Structure 1
Amino acid sequence: MVKFMHEGIEEQEGNLQEEELEFALAALDDSLPEVENPLQEINLGIEEDPRPTFISTLLEELVKNEIIALLHDFKDCFAWHYHEMPGLDRGLVEHKLPIKEGYLPVKQVRRRMSMET
C-alpha cells in the first residue's frame, strides 16, 4: 500500500488531499500477455533459404490447408530481402529522422501501456 499526496480542488483552501493506492511496481510487471491467437510457422522457401510466414493455428484444418497451398502458389509475389525488390525507391523503405544541425532530438519518457487494452 502506498500513500500519495496530490494537490486537488482543495488546494485553494491550502489543504492537500491524501489517497491510498494499491499498484504493482512497474519493474515487476514485465510479464508478457498470453497470445490470443497462436501462430504456426510455414516455410515457403527451402532449407538453405528459408522464407517463413505465419498463419493462425485456430483456423479449421480445411481452411488452413487451402491457405498454405495458396501461399505456396504465390510465394514469388513476396519479398524477403531488399535485393528482391528492384526499382523500389529506397526513400519508401528507409526511416530517416531529419534533425536540424545544431539541435538535439527530443527525448521523451517511456510510456507504459495497460496490459488490459
Structure 2
Amino acid sequence: MAKFTHESTEDQEEEELQEEVLDFAPAALDDFLLEVEDPLQEINFRIEEDPRPTFISALLKEPLKSELIALLKEFRDCFAWHYHEMPGLDRELMEHELPIKEGYLPVKQARRRMSIDTELKVKEEIERLLKAGFIKPAIYAD
C-alpha cells in the first residue's frame, strides 16, 4: 500500500505540473487573431477573352508549386467554369428538393432587401441556372 500511495503522489505532482504548463499562455496570443487562410495566387488557364481563373496557395514552395500548376494545366479539361460546360449531370448524383408535408402550405417568407447591384447579379445567376437546366421553378397548388 505504501507503494500505491507513493505512485499516487507522483501522479498528483505530474498532474499539477501539467496544469501549470496548460495555464501558462503568452499574453500576445490573446491580443490578436492568427490568420488561418493562406494568401492565394491566381492561375489563369485561358486567354483574356475567356478567363479561366483558379487559385492556389501563395505559400507553396518550388518545385511543388510548379508541379501543381503543371498538373492543373494537364487536367484543365476536367474543370467547368460555366454551367453549359456541365451538360448531362445526373440528377441522381445530387438533387435538392423542398419537401412539403401533405396538407400543409409552404411558408411564404418576407422579401429580403438587397442592393440593386446585388439583386441584378442574383437575377442574372438565376437566369443562367434556368437556361442551363440546373434549377426549375417549384410548382405548388397555391
TM-score (norm 1): 0.51
Is 1:104 matched up with 2:113?
Answer: no
Spell out, residue by residue over 1:6-65, the C-alpha distance to the aligned partner (whole angstroms, 9 max, x if none).
xxxxxxxxxxxxxxxxxxxxxxxxxx9734311111111221111111111111121111
What secondary structure does 1:60 align onto?
coil
Q: Tell me the residue number matched to 1:74.
A: 75
Q: Tell me the residue number matched to 1:11.
A: none
Alpha-carbon shift at residue 92 of structure 1 (Å): 4.3
Spell out, residue by residue over 1:48-106, the C-alpha distance to the aligned partner (whole angstroms, 9 max, x if none).
11111111111112111111111111111111112112221356455432334514279
Q: Tell me the residue number matched to 1:109.
A: none
Q: Whose strand proportion is higher, 1 or 2?
A: 1
> Does the C-alpha gap of structure 1 residues 93 and 46 become closer, same or farther in structure 2, counting only changes over 3 Å?
farther
Q: Is the 8 A contact 1:99 1:105 kept in 2?
A: no
After superposition, residues 1-117 of structure 1 pair within 5 angstroms as: 34-90=35-91, 92=93, 95-100=96-101, 101-104=104-107
Q: For 1:33 and 1:98, how far apart are their aligned partners in 2?
A: 42
User: Runs of 5+ in structure 2 lacking a partner?
Assistant: 1-32, 110-142
> Does the C-alpha gap of structure 1 residues 74 and 103 become closer, same or farther in structure 2, counting only changes over 3 Å?
closer
User: How many percent identity over aligned positions?
Assistant: 71
User: Runs of 5+ in structure 1 lacking a partner?
Assistant: 1-31, 107-117
Q: How many residues align?
A: 75
User: Which segments of structure 1 move beyond 2 Å, counting only runs of 4 or more?
Assistant: 32-36, 89-101
> Does the C-alpha gap of structure 1 residues 66 and 87 become closer, same or farther in structure 2, counting only changes over 3 Å?
same
TM-score (norm 2): 0.43
Q: Is the 8 A contact 1:40 1:57 kept in 2?
A: yes
**Bigger mean CA offset, 64-73 vs 80-89:** 80-89
Matched AA of 1:80 = W
Matched AA of 1:70 = L
